[in-house]
């Protein structure tokens, strides 16, 4: 089979790229190894994503407007979002919707696991194993690798490695009366016993609560951390489902090579500090698709423009969040200071504004000065 573009991986990044390209009339094959995939994920998405990508209301299982951060000492700061909410989706429903939307736009959705991607003439030859349907061979002029943290596409095409992967685990709990306070509350635990370098989370969904933790320390035992988290929570309910996966929190050195582009986790586009990846997966998928359309229309010289634009637009966020994690997530004394700073209303406002719409709204100078002073003060006193 021949087509213009093969998109490998039908998660948020791949489904978004395929949708944009198919809408523009290109012949697009969207290859997904498992159409019933439930990607291990907290499923928290910002309002800006919901609006830009027109996510239907019925997919948003909770619109959470309250957030609590908990320090190692047990101190809890609760805050509310005046101008929006964090949307909670379940990935098995969310990804399916995005893939079906791409198919409705004209993408050819194929359930098959890609085994090989080889340069061929001026394009690529892709071999994929379609379970009972045998091997599918696709020739495409362009390839978009959207196949997640362990990207086969990146490996086959010799992209530089995904350097930095955290691992995260999550368990699902049915609602019980003792958990009712979480129905409109996201709770984040900054506690070295729950994670030595990341955080633990409690996210509400329609019919369950997701509890998870992550770490970059691959020598540690993620299951032990989750066990400790549950001991500390001391809930009487037992989880009914467990899931785990890697989180690539460091962009690859390059994510464009020849006629191939990597998007989302395949490119390593999860932000440090909060582990957010869905927004950046969809934005990178869209940007890659639009760059390709511009190249084909002669408006742009090369696909390298995609990487350049992505880095220019979002790298201040990646750098800022990496700095935040480095500064505050190293020990409990620093975590305690971090939670103390979250009590400041301006810090809360800046955090929510920048999370919801990924725009850094510059605060007045006196507010910036106050925040710097508070940071120094809490770092010095350690709480
Ligand atoms: C426990 C956990 C919690 C998280 N919580 C959040 C959160 O709350 N909010 C947030 O924004 N981010 C979160 N993330 C990160 C987020 O899940 C990812 O950043 C996001 O899924 C990236 O989307 P993607 O499309 O790039 O990759 P993926 O979602 O990984 O999709 C890749 C797709 O490619 C398919 N695939 C892989 N290999 C092949 C192959 N060889 N052939 C064909 N198909 C293939 C897979 O089946 C999959 O469907 C979390 C991650 C973890 C692990």
Per-residue pLDDT tens digits for 148-166:
999 999 999 999 998 777 9
Quote the ligand 1 centre to 300 CA distance (angstroms): 29
pLDDT of residue 96: 98
Strands 185-189 and 66-70, by their bridges, are parallel
pLDDT of residue 379: 73
Give the separation between CA 92 and CA 43, rounded to whole angstroms: 10
- Best CA proximity match to 332, nearest among 222, 195, 191: 191
Q: Is 114 in the pocket of ligand 1 (CB under 6 A)?
A: yes
pLDDT of residue 272: 92
Structure tokens at 187: 């709770």
Could you tell me which residue, 131 or 71, shows the higher pLDDT? 71
Domain regions of the chain by residue span: 2-41+91-162+252-320, 60-90+164-248, 328-381
Average pLDDT over residues 266-284: 96
pLDDT of residue 355: 86
Instruction: Evaluate if residue 380 carries a pLDDT over 90.
Output: no
Instruction: Evaluate if residue 271 carries a pLDDT over 90.
Output: yes
pLDDT of residue 319: 92
Sheet-wide strand order for 44-46? 44-46, 86-88, 62-64
Instruction: Evaluate if residue 240 carries a pLDDT over 80.
Output: yes
- The protein residue with its alpha carbon nearest to ligand 1, atom 48, reads 11
Atom of ligand 1 nearest to the CA of 43: 8
pLDDT in tens, 329-364: 999 999 999 999 999 888 888 888 888 888 766 677
Contacts for 377-380: CB closer than 8 Å, 24+ residues apart: 378/337, 378/338, 378/340, 378/341, 379/334, 379/337
- Best CA proximity match to 255, nearest among 274, 280, 275: 280
pLDDT in tens, 99-145: 999 999 999 999 999 999 999 888 999 999 987 777 889 999 999 99
pLDDT of residue 14: 98
Give the separation between CA 254 and CA 304, rounded to whole angstroms: 9
pLDDT in tens, 17-54: 999 999 999 999 999 999 999 999 999 999 999 999 99
Quote the ligand 1 centre to 40 CA distance (angstroms): 7
Top-level CATH class of 60-90+164-248? Answer: alpha beta
CATH match of 2-41+91-162+252-320 with 3.50.50.60: yes
Number of other residues whose CB lies within 10 A of the CB of residue 192: 17
Number of other residues whose CB lies within 10 A of the CB of residue 71: 20
Give the separation between CA 55 and CA 61, rounded to whole angstroms: 12
Half-sphere exposure of 180 (CA within 13 A, CB side): 2
Q: Is 84 in the pocket of ligand 1 (CB under 6 A)?
A: no
Instruction: Evaluate if residue 218 carries a pLDDT over 80.
Output: no
Given a contact cutoff of 8 angstroms between Cβ atoms, the answer to whether 62 and 204 are in contact is: yes
Q: Is 32 in the pocket of ligand 1 (CB under 6 A)?
A: yes
Q: Which of 38, 39, 46 to mutate to test the pocket of ligand 1 (most atoms within 8 A of CB)?
A: 39
Atom of ligand 1 nearest to the CA of 263: 26
């Amino acid at each position: 089979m021949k087509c213009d573009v093969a998109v490998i991986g039908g998660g948020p990044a791949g489904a978004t790229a395929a949708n944009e390209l198919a809408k523009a009339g290109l012949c697009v094959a969207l290859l997904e190894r498992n159409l019933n995939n439930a990607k291990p994920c907290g499923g928290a998405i910002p309002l800006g994503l919901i609006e830009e990508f027109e996510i239907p209301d019925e997919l948003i299982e909770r619109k959470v407007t309250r957030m609590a951060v908990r320090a190692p000492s047990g101190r809890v700061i609760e805050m509310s979002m005046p101008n929006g909410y964090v949307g909670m989706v379940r990935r098995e429903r969310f990804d399916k919707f995005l893939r079906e939307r791409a198919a409705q736009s004209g993408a050819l959705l194929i359930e098959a696991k890609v085994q090989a991607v080889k340069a061929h003439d001026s394009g690529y030859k892709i071999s994929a194993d379609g379970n009972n349907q045998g091997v599918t061979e696709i020739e495409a002029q362009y390839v978009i690798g959207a196949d997640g943290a362990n990207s086969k596409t990146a490996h086959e095409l010799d992209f530089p490695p995904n350097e930095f992967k955290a691992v995260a685990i999550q368990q699902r709990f049915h609602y019980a009366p003792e958990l009712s306070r979480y129905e409109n509350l996201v709770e984040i635990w900054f506690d070295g016993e729950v994670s030595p370098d990341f955080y633990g989370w409690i996210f509400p969904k329609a019919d369950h609560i997701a509890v998870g933790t992550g770490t970059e320390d691959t020598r540690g035992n993620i299951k032990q951390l989750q066990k400790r988290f549950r001991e500390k929570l001391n809930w009487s309910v037992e989880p009914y489902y467990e899931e785990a996966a890697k989180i690539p929190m460091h962009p690859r050195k390059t994510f464009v090579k020849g006629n191939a582009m990597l998007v989302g986790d395949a490119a390593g586009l999860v932000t440090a500090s909060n582990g957010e990846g869905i927004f950046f997966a969809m934005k990178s998928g869209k940007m890659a698709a639009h760059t390709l359309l511009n190249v084909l229309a002669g408006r742009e010289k090369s696909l390298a423009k995609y990487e350049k634009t992505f880095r220019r637009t979002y790298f201040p966020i990646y750098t800022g969040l990496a700095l935040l994690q480095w500064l505050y997530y190293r020990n409990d004394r620093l975590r305690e200071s971090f939670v103390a700073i979250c009590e400041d209303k301006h810090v809360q406002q800046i955090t929510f504004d920048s999370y919801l719409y990924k725009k850094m709204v510059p605060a007045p100078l006196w507010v910036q000065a106050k925040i710097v002073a508070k940071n120094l003060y809490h770092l010095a006193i350690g709480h």
